Amino acid sequence: MPKATVARLPLYLQCLELMPETSSTVSSAALADVARVTSAKVRKDLSYLGSHGVRGVGYDKDQLCLLIRRELGLTQDWPVVIVGAGNLGSALANYGGFGSSGYRVVGVYDADAEKVGNRVDGHQVRAVDDLEADVERHGVAIGIITTPSSAAQETADRLTAAGVGSILNFAPVVVRVPADVRVRHVDLATELQILSYYSVQSQ
């Protein structure tokens, strides 16, 4: 499946879930309109899941949700850890979208002894020293880094050493990981800079 398609499946899923239940089916054009993409893109993307649409009618919403879920691996349980209990870590721990999606925060960690023990959305902040043991115990596959930049690389090292295979990094620094570990990098400054580039262009 093309990377670009994988990156859009979550979008389709989100749109499908937010759609009013007036109809049990949805056409590529309708989904495209909500997702703000083209209908040809929707059809191509969904065709990678197999031919489940009905000509003249569209796709069955529930079936489509299920197919996307299965493809994205959301039918299984994904225990995650959040390292860094600042505002961002707290925001993510509180994030609602987890419930239905198989993600489960099994631990929130901080290096600051002052923060250890604080409650964050039902999670008691734990000392980073507990990280490795918890990762192994819960079989954590995804780690989220919300530490300051200065601690991001060390955190990534510890996560990968403990067996985490995927990292979502919110610290504004590029982390190095072994070749078999996947990293996605989300950075506010980057997003703003991209926006300001296009803002200047359109002036």
Chain residues binding DNA by CB under 7 A are: 2-5, 27-29, 37-41, 43-44, 46-47, 51-59
Binds 57: which of DNA, its own copies, none (CB < 5-8 Å by kind): DNA
Please say which residue, 48 or 54, places its beta carbon nearer to its own copies.
48
Taking phi over 0 as left and psi of -120 to 50 as alpha, with beta for the rest, 105 belongs to: beta
Binds 44: which of its own copies, DNA, none (CB < 5-8 Å by kind): DNA
Which residues bind to its own copies, rule: CB under 8 A?
Answer: 6-7, 9-11, 13-15, 18, 34-36, 71-74, 76, 78, 80, 86-88, 90-92, 94-95, 97-98, 101-103, 141-142, 149, 165-166, 168, 172-174, 176, 180, 182, 184, 186-200, 202
What are the two backbone dihedrals, phi and then psi, of residue 75, each rounded to the nearest 5 degrees?
-85, -10
Binds 133: which of its own copies, DNA, none (CB < 5-8 Å by kind): none
The 3-state DSSP class for residue 13 equals helix
Residue showing tokens 């997003």:
191
Q: Least distance in Å: CB of 56 to its own copies?
A: 27
Please say which residue, 160 or 166, places its beta carbon nearer to its own copies.
166
Q: Least distance in Å: CB of 181 to DNA?
A: 18
Half-sphere exposure of 159 (CA within 13 A, CB side): 34
Q: Pairing mode, if any, of strands 78-83 and 126-127?
A: unpaired
Q: Least distance in Å: CB of 44 to DNA?
A: 4
Binds 119: which of its own copies, DNA, none (CB < 5-8 Å by kind): none
Q: Token pair of 72, please?
A: 């994205």
Residues constituting the chain = 203
Q: Residue 143: beta bridge partners?
A: 81, 167
Q: Is 147 exposed, middle or buried (0-12, 13-18, 19+ CB in 10 A)?
A: buried
Taking phi over 0 as left and psi of -120 to 50 as alpha, with beta for the rest, 63 belongs to: alpha
Q: Least distance in Å: CB of 191 to DNA?
A: 16
Please say which residue, 132 or 165, places its beta carbon nearer to its own copies.
165
Q: Least distance in Å: CB of 24 to DNA?
A: 13
Please say which residue, 161 or 194, places its beta carbon nearer to its own copies.
194
Q: Residue 183: beta bridge partners?
A: 167
Whether 50 contacts 67, CB under 8 Å: yes
